[in-house]
Structure 1
Amino acid sequence: MKKVFTLATLMLAVVMTTSVSAQDFSGIDKSPMDMAAYPTDYKVSEKAVRIIYGRPQLKGRSMDELAPTGKVWRTGANEAPEITFYKDVNFGGKDIKAGTYSLFTIPGEEEWTVILNKNLNQWGSYFYDESADVARVKVPNGSDSASLEEFSIAFKDAKGGTSLVMGWDKTRVAVPITM
């Protein structure tokens, strides 16, 4: 009886191992996910803010093709970015409670509207619901002489806190965040 049990256990182990090793994994995403956090110093264990976002690439296309002027944009690729504030902040002049929000933007010629939205886990901006907006902030549309192939988000130290800086092609947009 013991030999039958051992043989059955061995066969089950082989079947389980085969099914696990046969798992298909997807390749690298064409617009990989990235993260930026503040403070950026890895020695600081308590972060104030973190954003997770997809990084589309121009690949010969214009920025306006991928992030059309005057239309709600998911601010990156794939899922709408999610920004987490670990403490209450002032985001571009609006008081925001600690929590996680989706980030959308409306690119413009002179200024961008940056939107924090309470609906999470949104694919693109297809199901964007303006009634779930927590804040809308208008910031000037800046530029740089250096072109960025990949959409990028970073935090830059600023008086009283930081600025959330978004850049793509030669466009740069910054939202001040004070703690």
Structure 2
Amino acid sequence: MKNIGLALVIVLLLASCSQDSIDSNNAAFVTYLGNDTLAVEQFEKSGNEMNAKVILRSPRTTFTSYDLVLDNTGAIESMTATKYSLDEGFGGEGTTVQTIERMGDSLLVEVNTSEGSRTYSVSYEPGVLPFIDMVHWPYELALENAASVDRDTVDQRMLTGSRLSSFILADIETDSMTIRHPFRGVMGVDVNEDGDLLFLDAGLTTRKLKVHRVPSLDIEAIGEDFAANDESGNPFGELSSAETGEFSFKGANFRVEYGSPKKRGRDLFGGIVPWGERWRTGANRATHFYTSTDLTIGTLTVPAGEYTLFTIPEPDGGTLMINKQTGQNGQSYDADRDLGRVPMEIDTKEDVTEAFTINIEETETGGVLQLIWGESVFSVDFTVN
């Protein structure tokens, strides 16, 4: 009942956040992946300072606070990230896990982990902001900066690890903008005239997140709820876990390595995986397929070896692309390196498979490669040569 109560509180808060209730200096964000709450953030701005508390649930719940000081260009002057224990939350002592200090024309970054500390420097640029994966309060600052200048497009530089990257902010209408992530795609954003982030839709990116602004949250109570889920053995888990499947039959060995995203209540094919568009067939790294023996897939001869698999799902099945390039990210696809393409079949099953799964089964005539997610099963038959 505790989780149901928390979900209801969040829904009510979402409904209550109208234009008239916006406070530019104090607010919170709730980030959803499908039906699941991935993160909550609460922030306060005062002059050139930004203080934020973030609870992120993947792969396990973490409590982190950020204290940011900006210089007169709106860039990082200093930032400290502090992590807190699951038991004590933000009421605990905390441990500094990252510091950033401007030193002349450089940003000096120190990162502390259980394996020790490392320090590196990055070139400073006016207006540069921090990028924090799956955390959205830095976008609030970037959008406000973009709203304050008379330009349709702004190249917002952000510190991503040990380098600066360009995030392109573009006006669409008076109440909407886009943010182009350097490698994940374009996010749609609803804003007010001050550039305050009201709603962010990352449905066209690899992350598929949605972020809602709310006036406030009882972040301590929410943290207790999330921590209790972890302690009871029910953590949020990886956004897309790395899976390996190994299969042997008819004198052949097969291996598939792929990222396995979860359904989380979302519409899958024709939804987050559009019909008629190339799909990485999983998540993160490109899906890899190995066979120890020559195969015939459809009418395509596939010599023994390792390949990557991409697909174009269609309501009637679509296409499986077998590519000779290996080792790449799932967004990297070179059609010139295709070994070939074969048609897929699609079937519907009654039960729901939550995590995307690739299976290889033996059949009387050879085998079948199955791509299973939700209620859909895409399949391609093959023979062992």
Structure-1 separation of matches of 2:353 and 2:302: 30
Matching residue within 23, 30, 54 for 2:239? 30
How much does 1:23 deviate?
5.1
Deviation at 1:60, TM superposition (A): 2.1
**What is the TM-score with the length of structure 1 in the denominator?**
0.77
* 8 A contact 1:37–1:47 mirrored in 2: no
Q: Which residue of 2 aligns with 1:171?
A: 376
* Number of aligned positions between the proteins: 154
Q: CA distance change for structure 1 residues 23 and 142 in 2, over 3 Å: closer, same or farther?
A: farther
The structure with more strand, counted as a fraction of residues: 2
2:359 paired residue number:
154
Structure whose alpha-carbon radius of gyration is higher: 2
Letter in 2 for 1:83: F
| Conserved? CA contact 1:153–1:166, under 8 Å | yes
Following TM superposition, by how much is the alpha carbon of 1:22 offset from its aligned partner in structure 2, in angstroms? 1.9
Contact 2:295 2:303 (8 Å CA) reproduced: yes
5+ residue gaps, structure 2, are 1-111, 118-236
- Tell me how far 1:131 sits from its aligned partner: 1.2
Q: Give the alignment partner of residue 332 of structure 2, picking from 94, 106, 127.
A: 127
Aligned to 1:3: none
CA distance in 2, matches of 1:97, 1:74: 22
Deviation at 1:21, TM superposition (A): 5.5
Q: 2:286 aligns with which of 76, 80, 85?
A: 80
SS of 2:344's partner is strand
Quickly say closer, same or farther: Cα 1:30–1:87, change in 2 above 3 A.
same
**1:90: which partner in 2?**
296
- Match for 1:114: what amino acid? L
Which of residues 111, 114, 117 in structure 1 aligns to 2:323? 117
Q: How does 1:131-150 map to 2 (within 5 A)?
A: 131-150=336-355
RMSD: 2.4
Deviation, 1:86, is: 0.8
Aligned identity (percent) is: 29
Amino acid at match of 2:283: A
Cα distance in structure 2, aligned partners of 1:32 and 1:160: 32
8 Å contact kept, 1:89–1:95: yes
1:95 Cα deviation after fit: 0.8
